[in-house]
A and B are shown apart, each in its own frame.
Chain A
């Protein structure tokens, strides 16, 4: 595997379900990010992790819970989501914060 990978690529879940998104980077980077991109809207930065520590939470609702066990892996745990949470969820990584970011292919999430 190279670059940034994300699984699953597509996810359909009910509002009462609990699911997790996974991201893995093979670039030796120290910073990882979660973004949300809704239809025809700009990218929204959700969380930033640098050297496994959360350094930014952009006022994200608590139904989104990130986890970063090491610099290569990032998870986004989802529970009791709303239909408006349906979006493309993108993971990115960079050498350090402020540097160019490389994106994974994204997870297309649909909440029914």
Chain B
């Protein structure tokens, strides 16, 4: 199993809907998780960090961490066409703090 895994998508949702992006992780990662957004041809931009079990909300974004099931998700409420991008899940290494693992990303398309 890879350290961090994501479904590559694409995930298509209509404008105004909730987009749900998921990520699973292995026992080799730390308990710090990060969501990045990457537009085509651009660099990744940090959206949210989550460290504790449960939900963390920031505007239209909610990150959810479930340590028992080893998954982390990102919900985007009231999705806009400008949210169309690739979303990357990332986590630090548990046994090697110099490691930082990115998932392969999920492409989100928000249709007007």
Contacts and interface: CB of A to CB of B under 8 A. Distances in A.
Interface in A31-64: 33, 42-43, 45, 48, 50, 55-56
A97 B93 CA distance: 9
Nearest to A47: B98
A21 B92 CA distance: 26
Interface stretch (B39-47, B68-76, B77-85): B39-47
Contacts, number: 52
Interface stretch (A11-19, A73-81, A103-111): A103-111
B45 A97 contact: no
Contact of A103 (B41, B45, B98): B45
Range of interface residues on B (Cβ < 8 Å): 20 to 34
B43 A106 contact: yes
Contacts of B100: 33, 45, 48, 97-98, 101
Interface of A: 33, 42-43, 45, 48, 50, 55-56, 88, 90, 96-106
